Amino acid sequence: MTVTLGRTRLRPPRAGLAGAIAASAFLLVLVVAAAAPALFTSADPIQTQVLQALRAPSIEHPFGTDQTGRDVFARVVYGARYSLAIGVLATTIAMTAGLLVGTLAGLAPRLVDSAISRVIEVLMSFPEFLLALLVIAILGPGPVSLVIAISLASVPVYARVARVQTFTVRSSGYVRAAVILGVPKWRSVLRHVVPNTVGPLLVMATIGFGTAIASAAGLSFLGLGAQPPTPEWGLILSEGRNFLGTAWWIAVFPGLVVTVTVISASVLGRYLRARGEGRAA
């Protein structure tokens, strides 16, 4: 005689350890591909071979070939370094800048905090993608503009989280306990505020890394980022656009890789967040 409550009580999607391991494994593969692409493919990503143009996927060409005969798989592998580089750079810059700005706002006198918050609010009133577009409009297309645009567009989000976290820690019971013990203010800030703020930001950065790669691909797709013949993922996709009916593999596979990268980053990020919360629970 089992007597139970109506609904099953579920917790937020807790990416299990298995998922996190799979995600990390994929990301690791990407890193290796970026560092040593020759390990994965012997084909040349740039050299055109018109005779091989528009071949369907096969054992020789796992992702098929594009309109100039280049092996798509090779292009994707060599493209990893661009996407990863941009993703890592943009995310690191955004996170560091956000941490600095947000912590400053959280610790500074009221006036400074108000000023910084207003600026953050204004920046956040633009949808992120549009902000990146604006930056590129000013700086002109290119990979450097890409990095600047993406980082600038995401700094406000990191800054806001850092600011809120700083406030929370600042008014927390344990910082108050440190004050009562007689620990000097600056030392308790360093010991408590910064480490407790960096944690959540790192988790955000893990997920943000995936988003940055997707944004970079999107901007390159529009022609605003990397320029041909760079094998950047978004670029390959835009090239494949014209052949959607005849050679769908050119567009589909690179996009698939981007998607799986974003999924992996999300899964890993969620797992880290769940673990972090479990510790603080």
Partner 1 sequence: MRLGPSKRRVPGASARWLLGRLGGLLLVVWGAATAGFLALTLIPGDPVDVMLGVQAQVSEQVKAQIRADWGLDDPPLARYLQYLGRLATGDLGESYQLRQSVSSVIGEQLPATLQLTLLAVAFALSLAAIATLAARGRRSTRIVSLVELTAVSSPTFWTGLVLIAVFVFQLGWFPIAETGSLRALVLPALTLALPVAGIISQVLRQGLDAASAQPFATTAIARGLGGRRLLMRHTLRHAAADSVTLVGYLVGTLIGGAVLVETVFARPGLGRVTLRAIIDRDLPVVLGIILLAAVTFALLNLAVDVLYRWIDPRLRTGSAAT
Partner 2 sequence: MSFVSVRNLRVRFGQRTVVDGVSFDIAPGECLAIVGESGSGKTITARALLGLAPDGADVSSDELVVAGVDASAYTGAEWRSVRGRLVGLVSQDALVSLDPMRRIASEVAEPIEVHEGGLSRSEIDARVLRMLADVAIPSPETRARQYPHELSGGLRQRALIASALAAAPRLLVADEPTTALDATVQSKVLELLGSLKEAGLALLLVSHDLALVSQIADRIAVMQHGRIVETAAAADLLANPTHPYSRALLDAVPTGHAVRRDGGEIVLAARSLVKQYPAPHRTTTVALDDVSLELRAGTTLGIVGESGSGKSTLARLLLAIERPDSGEVLLRGSPWSSLAESARRRMRGGIQLIEQDPASSFDPRYTVRRILTEAVAITDARANRPARILELLEQVGLSAVHLGRRGHELSGGQRQRVAIARALARRPSILVCDEPVSALDVQVQAQVLALLQNLQASTGLSLVVISHDLAVIAQLSDTVLVMRHGVVVESGEASEVLTDPNHPFTRELLDSLPSGRILP
Is 177 an interacting residue with respect to partner 2 (CB under 8 A)? yes
By CB under 8 A, name the one of 96, 168, 172, 238 that touches partner 2. Answer: 172
In the complex, minimum distance from the CB of residue 156 to partner 1, in angstroms, rounded to a whole number: 12
Q: Token digits for 199? A: 């944690």
Other beta carbons within 10 angstroms of residue 138's beta carbon come to 10
Binding residues for partner 1, rule: CB under 8 A, are 5-13, 118-119, 121-123, 125-130, 133-134, 136-138, 140-141, 210, 214, 217-218, 221-224, 234, 237, 240-241, 244-245, 248, 251-252, 255-256, 258-259, 262-263, 266-267
CA 49/CA 47 separation, integer angstroms: 7
Q: Token digits for 65? A: 């070939």
Nearer to partner 1, 107 or 262 (CB): 262
Concatenated DSSP letters of 146-206: HHHHHHHHHHHHHHHHHHHHHHHHHTSHHHHHHHHHT--HHHHIIIIIHHHHHHHHHHHHH
Find which of partner 2, partner 1, none residue 35 binds, CB within 5 to 8 Å per kind.
none
Nearer to partner 1, 155 or 175 (CB): 155
By CB under 8 A, name the one of 36, 39, 56, 179 that touches partner 2. Answer: 179
By CB under 8 A, name the one of 12, 109, 140, 182 that touches partner 2. Answer: 182
Find which of partner 1, partner 2, none residue 2 binds, CB within 5 to 8 Å per kind.
partner 2
Find which of partner 1, partner 2, none residue 267 binds, CB within 5 to 8 Å per kind.
partner 1
3-state SS class at 65 = strand
Query: In the stretch 242-281, what mask flags binding to partner 2 with x, by CB under 8 A?
Result: -------------------------------------xxx
Angle between helices 143-170 and 128-139 (to 10 degrees): 140
By CB under 8 A, name the one of 13, 16, 127, 184 that touches partner 2. Answer: 184
Residues 6+ apart with CB under 8 A from 121: none
* CB-CB contact of 224 with 136 (8 Å): yes
Query: In the stretch 6-25, what mask flags binding to partner 2 with x, by CB under 8 A?
Result: x-xx----------------
Beta strands in the chain (DSSP E): none
Residues 6+ apart with CB under 8 A from 64: 54, 55, 56, 57, 58, 72, 247, 249, 250, 253
Region near partner 2 per CB under 8 A, out of 13-21, 30-38, 194-202, 262-270:
194-202
